[in-house]
Structures are given as structure tokens and as C-alpha cells.
Amino acid sequence: MKKILITRKLIKDSEDKAQKIFEVKLNSNDELYSQAKLIELTQGCDGILTSLTEKMDADAINKLPKSIKIISNFAVGFGNIDLEAAKKRGIAVTNTPEVLSDATAEIGILLILGACRRASEGIDAARLSNWKWSADYLIGKQLTRSRLGILGMGRIGQKIAKIAKSLGMIIHYHNRSKLSADKEQGAIYHDSLKSLFSVSDVLSICCPATKETVNLINKQTIEYFPTGAVITNVARGDIVDDEALIDALNRRKIYAAGLDVYKNEPNLNPGYLKIKSAFILPHLGSATKDTRIAMANLAIDNIDEFFNTGNCKNIVN
Ligand code: GLV
């Protein structure tokens, strides 16, 4: 029986499933392991089921025992893992695509609604019961008829596009390549960031964090947006230069931001906390019971498939 380390506590059904297939080291207290502890715990293991809270950089990967053949990440994103370092060590890295697209797209829409309709300010006022209705009280931006730019039109981007279209938004997108007409569903393709940003009343960031996408939203690219645009991010914090976005929010170049992900989570840039127009959530994209079970099961199946066949459809390196 192969032996695996599961670095974070999973929903019980998923841990039970893993225990039927593998000899498993569980983390019953859901402790956040230091790199040193994690490496120590992998001794004697054949694989690791990691979460996005584990930073598997080249240094950590190079210290793993030779017996480790697979790192199965419990996430669709894999920015926490140095893919090249893993490949050099002959370690396969897998992710959990598809199963979280619906839940993540729902949060993507919540970010758009929350930022455009000033939900943070509204929630604060309602909790304090101190608001005074007037014709111009907490006026926000209407979604109907406004233009939504989608950066990264993969499964999550396409799902957000579909829901946003039903809300009356006009969809534009930028992607590595233009999609086929059935996937585009009438969305308008832009072959450059500048072209997309310049027509985005609202932006939804849905692309993976890679070396190419780090700080794509920065001092220079923010200027491409119409004044008063809204920027939302359901993908990864690394894509946004926080200082540039905070500055743009403060000077009202950008009207509002809707954020679920941050650099250096959970220690988000404190600048966001002072901005009323920042609608911020604690990385809830895939946080529904059905989705978390489906993700964990897929992460387990990825390891099983890999050890049974020597391959896995969800290898990303
Ligand atoms: C969540 O953020 C994921 O990448 O699965």
C-alpha cells in the first residue's frame, strides 16, 4: 500500500476515502506545518496531498525524500508549488480543475456585485442601524448594460461570463488565444491587455498566477482603465500589485475593488482595510461543502491514478 501525507484536515468523508486506498498520515489538529515539519513528516511517504497553504518552493522540494513521486494539490491553482523544481526531481504535480468552477464563479459574481453595489459600506451601516435613507444614499454602479472584462477565459471565466450576461452585462475578454464561438457565447475578444482594460467598466481576474501574470495589474496598466472602473480578483493575489491598486482606489481612478485572494495570505496589505470601497473576502472561492468534497476526492483520485497507471490526466508539470 502506498503511503501518503495529507497536510491539512479534510472533510471526514474524504479522509475515509483516502484511508481505504492508502496508508495515510493525517493532520487531525489541522496544524499549519512549517516547511521543516512538513519535510520531516514526508519521510517514508510516496506522495503528498498539499493545500494552497503549503509553499512548496525549490528549497522545500529539493529536501523531500526520494520516495516522494507525486504532489497532489487540493486546489485548481498551483502557484504555491515550484513546478520546474518538482519536474527536475521527477515529482509529478497535479491539481483539481473543473470541480470548483461553479463555486468559484459564484464568488466571482459576488465580488462584482459587492464592489459595484457598495456592499461593505451597506453591511457596516445596517449593522450599526445608523443609516438615513435619501435619494442618493449609497448609490452604486449598475451592472445591467455595463461592460465586464474577463481576464482569463478558462472554465471559471466562462461561467462568470454566462452569469454576468444574464445580468445584462456586455462581455469582453482577453485570453492567450481566442475561443471557439460556442465557448465565447458572444463575448468580444481582445488580443491585448490594453485593449481589454480600456473597455472594462468592471474587470474580473480569472487567470492563473504564473511568471507571466505576476503584477499584471500595476501602476501602468491601471491607467488603461476608464476612470471609475471596478477591479475584482477571484484568481490569485500575485496578479495584482497591491500598492498600485490601493493608490488607484484612494485617488478614485478605480471606483471599487472586489477581492477574494491576496499576496501573502492571510496577511493582506493593510491598505485595503482602510478603503471603504474595497469589498474583501477571505479566499472563499471554492468554499462549499459539495465542492470541497469533490476537490478532495479528485486530489485523492489523482494520486491513485498516478500510482496505478504511472500517469494522471491532471498533471500540470
Ligand atoms: C482555490 O483558490 C483553488 O485554486 O483551488
Number of domains in the chain: 2
- The atom of ligand 1 lying closest to the CA of 235 is 2
**Whether residue 95 is found in the same domain as residue 110:** no
Give, for ligand 1, the residue of 8, 50, 52 to mutate: max count of ligand atoms closer than 8 Å to Cβ.
52
- Per-residue pLDDT of 32-48, as tens digits, reads 999 999 999 999 999 99
Question: Does residue 190 contact residue 136 with C-beta atoms inside 8 Å?
Answer: no
| 147 and 79 together in one domain | no
Same domain, residue pair 106 and 95: no
Categorize the per-residue pLDDT at 114 as very low, low, confident or very high, splitting at 50, 70 and 90: very high
- Average pLDDT over every residue of 166-180: 97
| 111 and 89 together in one domain | no
Amino acid sitting at position 4: I
Span between the terminal Cα atoms of the chain, in Å: 25
Predicted pLDDT at 233: 98
Q: For residue 317, is it within any domain?
A: no
Confidence tier at 141 by pLDDT (50, 70, 90): very high
235-245 per-position pLDDT tens digit:
999 999 999 99
156 with 268, same domain?
yes
Nearest to 61 by CA among 92, 94, 33: 92
What is residue 130's predicted lDDT score, i.e. its pLDDT?
87
- 292: annotated active-site residue: no
Q: How confident is residue 269, by pLDDT bands cut at 50, 70 and 90?
A: very high
Residues spanned by the domain of 199: 101-280
- Output the residue whose Cα is nearest ligand 1's atom 3: 75
Q: What is the pLDDT of residue 305?
A: 98
pLDDT reading at 28 higher than 90: yes
Residue 261 near residue 90, CB atoms below 8 Å: no
125 and 186 in a single domain? The answer is yes
Annotation says 283 is catalytic = yes
List, for residues 298-311, the tens digit of each pLDDT value: 999 999 999 999 99
Q: What is the mean pLDDT of residues 251-272?
A: 97
Which residue owns the Cα nearest ligand 1 atom 1?
75
Based on the residue annotation, tell me whether 98 is a catalytic residue of this protein.
no
Q: Residue 238: enclosing H or E segment and its boundaries?
A: none
Same domain, yes or no: 70 and 190: no
Which residue has 462549499 as its cell numbers? 288
Residue 317, pLDDT above cutoff 90 = yes
The Cα 203–Cα 274 span in angstroms is: 22
Q: Which of the following is catalytic: 118, 155, 283, 292?
A: 283
What CATH number is given to the structural domain containing 69? 3.40.50.720
Residue 315 lies in a domain: no
165, pLDDT greater than 90:
yes
DSSP secondary structure code for residue 184 in this structure:
H
Strands, sheet with 147-151, edge to edge from the N-terminal-most edge strand: 188-190, 170-174, 147-151, 202-205, 229-233, 254-259, 278-280
Show Cβ contacts of residue 144 under 8 Å, excluding neighbours closer than 6 positions.
167, 168, 169
Catalytic residue among 118, 155, 190, 236: 236
Mean pLDDT across the chain:
97
> Mean pLDDT across the stretch 153-177?
97
